[in-house]
Structure 1
Amino acid sequence: MPEGDETMPKLDVTTWYLEFEGETPALPDWPDGVQLVEAVTPNPEWSQFLFCAVGRRFGWYSRLSWDYRQWHDLVHGGDVRTWALWHGGTPAGYIELVRHGAVGDAPDTDGDSVG
Structure 2
Amino acid sequence: MTSAFEDGYTPLPKGKLATVVTWLEMTSPPSVAPPDWPEGITFQKVAPPAPAEYRMLFRAIGQNLLWVSRLKMSDETLAATLSHPEVELFHLLRDGVPIGLVELNFCAPGECELAFFGLVEGETGRGLGKPMMGAALAAAWARPVSKVWLHTCHFDHPSALAFYQRMGFRPVEIRVEVLDDPRLSGLLPREAAPQVPLID
TM superposition score normalised by structure 1: 0.71
In structure 2, give the amino acid aligned to 1:42. Answer: P
Q: 1:20 to 1:62 in 2, by over 3 A?
A: same
Q: 1:61 to 1:37 in 2, by over 3 A?
A: same
The whole-number CA distance in structure 2 between the counterparts of 1:54 and 1:75 is 17
Partner of 1:114: 117
In structure 2, give the amino acid aligned to 1:79. Answer: E
Q: 1:16 to 1:93 in 2, by over 3 A?
A: farther
Q: Is 1:92 the equivalent of 2:95?
A: no
Q: Contact 1:44/1:75 (CA < 8 Å) preserved in 2?
A: no
How far apart are 1:11 and its partner, in Å? 6.2
The whole-number CA distance in structure 2 between the counterparts of 1:33 and 1:74 is 30
Structure 1, gaps ≥5 residues long: none
In our comparison, the structure showing a higher alpha carbon Rg is 2
SS of the counterpart of 1:69?
helix
Structure 2, gaps ≥5 residues long: 1-13, 119-200
Sequence identity percentage: 26
Equivalenced residue count is: 104
The whole-number CA distance in structure 2 between the counterparts of 1:33 and 1:20 is 33
Q: Contact 2:104/2:113 (CA < 8 Å) preserved in 1?
A: yes
Q: Contact 1:18/1:110 (CA < 8 Å) preserved in 2?
A: no
SS of the counterpart of 1:70?
helix
Q: 1:90 to 1:31 in 2, by over 3 A?
A: same
How far apart are 1:24 and its partner, in Å? 6.3
* 1:43 maps to which of 49, 71, 75: 49
Counting only pairs closer than 5 Å after superposition, residues 2-13 of structure 1 correspond to structure 2 as: 4=15, 10=17, 12-13=19-20
The whole-number CA distance in structure 2 between the counterparts of 1:58 and 1:22 is 28
Partner of 2:38: 31
Structure with bigger RCO (C-alpha 8 Å, 6+ apart): 2
Q: 1:28 to 1:64 in 2, by over 3 A?
A: closer
